[in-house]
Amino acid sequence: MAAESQRTTTVSSTVEDYLKVVLKIEDMKQRASTSRVARHLDVADATVTDMLRKLKKAGLLEYKPYYGATLTRKGRRMAVRMLRRHRLLEMFLHQVLGYGWEQVHQEAERLEHAVSDLFISRIDALLDYPAQDPHGEAIPDARGFRQVEDDLCLAEAEPGSYIIRKVTNSEAEFLAYLDKVGLRPAIRFSLQEKAPFQGPLKLLPEGGREPVYLGLEASGSIFVVPLKQRPPAPLPEGAASRQAGDRPGRATEKEEA
Amino acid sequence: MAAESQRTTTVSSTVEDYLKVVLKIEDMKQRASTSRVARHLDVADATVTDMLRKLKKAGLLEYKPYYGATLTRKGRRMAVRMLRRHRLLEMFLHQVLGYGWEQVHQEAERLEHAVSDLFISRIDALLDYPAQDPHGEAIPDARGFRQVEDDLCLAEAEPGSYIIRKVTNSEAEFLAYLDKVGLRPAIRFSLQEKAPFQGPLKLLPEGGREPVYLGLEASGSIFVVPLKQRPPAPLPEGAASRQAGDRPGRATEKEEA
DNA sequence: CCCCATTTTTAGATCAGTCTAATAAATTAC
DNA sequence: GTAATTTATTAGACTGATCTAAAAATGGGG
């Protein structure tokens, strides 16, 4: 019954969504400008201007007109908490309720605002404190610590052997496609060719019958770890995404809260 | 993957709450008057007047000014669906996540608006299609059929031997108290005395060391089945509330949808 | 049948989150 | 370094759910 971070302030699910988006943008090393936030949330720019001002007043982020937002410590804490909830819920839906990895995102998107901290700590225990979600993304721990995720983007990889670490794109159709061609976290493949000028990549997945050709959208959202001479130990059974601990490409912990 | 009732209209969770309350009041054979609905939802009467008019326009209930509301077939279908979701979620929280029966209501109250039909059908299967929730209340099936619940209210019972069928009061403190004195669904007890003029009941629960004295609030929300010469077969293990099928006091099915 | 207490509705307002259209600031291009 | 383009903010309005306070209908008791 590990204590989940006890809320100090209660905010609407709308606020939670804004914070999540700002965190996501900051994680991509981009400026959280009004329009960028608006695009992520699919609302009008004017709406975001208003809301960022409110969030600033609530002490959740800094806001500079004509520039954009930066999370404060408090805002970041809340955003990371949502990330943890989202990813734990995805893992729960996948492992316990048998959802496909392309189905988990949408459901978690609603549940993350509705479940209690008790619910979260119970599924955390039930899943035996998973470190990754079904897409291979790291789950922040209950204290708000996050693994540094410095994996190599497939779009930047050179020909060679790799293992898929994570896929950062939650569109169901896209994930269903990857699944169909045999690309999932923990799957090994060899990158055989890169056509020039951002052309398609040719790669051969592990069980490989057919080669697969991927364009920019796909290769930009797949992150990999190069397979060394000594390939990583076989993964614990149970799930494509239940890998634990330290492997090349995963650095140690980093404070967040 | 049994098909959950596919939504035709999508409504806000507020609307869902109004429908639930009207159903609850109708189930108690009372008139769903403005003020009664308002009390259940803890909102002002004026708010209810407005909302009932909207719900009438949406075809979810009939509304007669200065009289009150009556669910239409469509409104009833939606209300029963919420009842099913709520009770299945309670059972899930109790059986899978280890919630106490006094904890499940509050969490289910939020989740019932957030989970998808897929979620509901998955937990239904996981729980092996339970017929009762942790309080012993019948769970409507996926088609909207409900068991007729004609159990005897403890407040109206005569001295004798009984088995607790259900407890209809979701206040956590109240349930925690009942639990402490050993009163739970499927528990046998003997009603020893009834003090006159709605006075306290004296009863001795199954494992009975001490007698327990109950006032009106308690005895009015406990429903029982008299124990005949031939007491009901021992219940399947696993849960206080996993009893299945036909026993005295439970009638057969009744169409709802 | 009329008055009074209760219940209900009406009227008017608020709040959060959103929109569109118009204006203004910032940035880029030449 | 000014003009054109892009980005952001302001202004004004809407919707859904709620409130309070005032007015109106209902339903008994005499």
Bridge partners (DSSP) listed for residue A166: A223
- pLDDT, residue B197, reads 76
Contact B182, B135 (CB under 8 A): no
Phi then psi for B77, rounded to 5 degrees?
A: -60, -45
ipTM of predicted assembly, 2 dp: 0.84
Convert the pLDDT of each residue in A177-216 to its tens digit.
998 888 999 899 999 888 887 789 999 988 778 899 998 8
Q: Which residues of B touch A96 (CB under 8 A)?
A: 96, 126
Nearest residue to nucleotide C18, by CA–C1' distance, is A47
Q: What CATH number corresponds to the domain at position A204? A: 2.30.30.90
- Burial bucket for residue B229 (CB in 10 Å: 0-12, 13-18, 19+): exposed
At residue B233 the predicted structure's pLDDT band, cuts being 50, 70 and 90, is low
Of A8 and A2, the one with more pLDDT: A8
Over the stretch A112-129, which tens digit does the pLDDT of each residue have? 999 999 999 999 999 999
Rounded Cα distance, A186 and A240, in Å? 6
Mean pLDDT of the region A17-41 = 96
- Asked if residue B64 and residue B86 are part of one domain, the reply reads no
Tell whether B233 is covered by a domain: no
B7 in a domain, yes or no? no
Query: Is residue B235 included in any domain, yes or no?
Result: no
Shared domain check, A218 and A173: yes
One domain for residues A3 and A67: yes
- Regarding whether B53 and B20 lie in a shared domain, the answer is yes
Residues 188-207 of A with CB under 8 A from B: none
Which residue's entry shows tokens 């909102």?
B43
Residue whose entry in the numeric block shows the structure tokens 């140690």: A252
Would you state the pLDDT for residue A61? Answer: 96
Is B123's CB within 8 Å of A98's CB? no
Of B48, B71, B94, which residue constitutes the final position of a domain? B71
Contact A133, A241 (CB under 8 A): yes
Quote the pLDDT of residue B248.
52
**Is there a contact between A113 and B114 if contact means CB atoms under 8 Å apart?**
yes
pLDDT (0 to 100) of residue A58: 94
Contacts of B118 in chain A (CB under 8 A): 99, 103, 107
Percentage of chain A modeled with pLDDT above 70: 86
Give the model's confidence band at A233: pLDDT under 50 very low, under 70 low, under 90 confident, else very high.
low
Instruction: Out of B97, B116, B118, name the one closest to residue A119 (CB).
Output: B97
Mean pLDDT value of segment A94-114: 97
Do B215 and B160 sit in the same domain of this protein?
Answer: yes
Task: Give the strands of the sheet with B152-153, arranged side by side.
Answer: B152-153, B222-226, B160-167, B188-194, B201-205, B212-214
% of chain B residues with pLDDT over 70: 86
Choose the final residue of a domain: B132, B148, B164: B148
B46 CA: nearest nucleotide by C1': C9
Q: What is the mean pLDDT of chain A?
A: 88
Give the per-residue pLDDT at B149.
Answer: 79
Q: Any idea which residue has 């999508």 for tokens? A: B10
Domain CATH for B91: 1.10.10.10
Structural domain includes residue B246: no
CA atoms within 13 A on the CB side of B230: 3
Residues A223 and A161 reside in one and the same domain: yes
Closest partner CB to B114 (pick from A110, A118, A123): A110
Six token digits for residue A236: 């614990």
B234: pLDDT confidence band, cut at 50, 70 and 90?
Answer: low
Which residues get their CB within 7 angstroms of nucleic chain D? A 33-36, 45-46, 48-50, 52-53, 65-66, 68; B 12, 14-15, 42-44, 46-47, 50-51, 54, 66
CA of A49 to C1' of D4 (A): 25
For chain A, how many structural domains are there in total? 2
Residue B245 resides in a domain = no
Tokens of B157: 């019972």
| One domain for residues A124 and A160 | no
pLDDT band at B245 (very low <50, low <70, confident <90, very high): very low
Going by DSSP bridges, is the β-strand pair B61-64/B68-71 parallel, antiparallel, or unpaired? antiparallel
Same domain, B178 and B221: yes
Of the candidates B121, B132, B142, the one whose C-alpha atom is nearest the C-alpha of residue B164 is: B132
**Are A123 and A206 part of one and the same domain?**
no
Note whether A189 and A116 are same-domain residues.
Answer: no
Q: Which of B156, B164, B158 is nearest to B192 (CA)?
A: B158
pLDDT of residue A156: 86
For the residues A130-159, what does the mean pLDDT come to? 91
pLDDT at position A62: 95
The residue segments making up the domain with residue A203 are 152-250
* B178-186 mean pLDDT: 89
- Which nucleotide minimizes the distance between its C1' and the CA of B68? C8
Checking if the pLDDT of A148 tops 70, the result is: yes
**CA of B34 vs C1' of C4, distance in Å?**
22
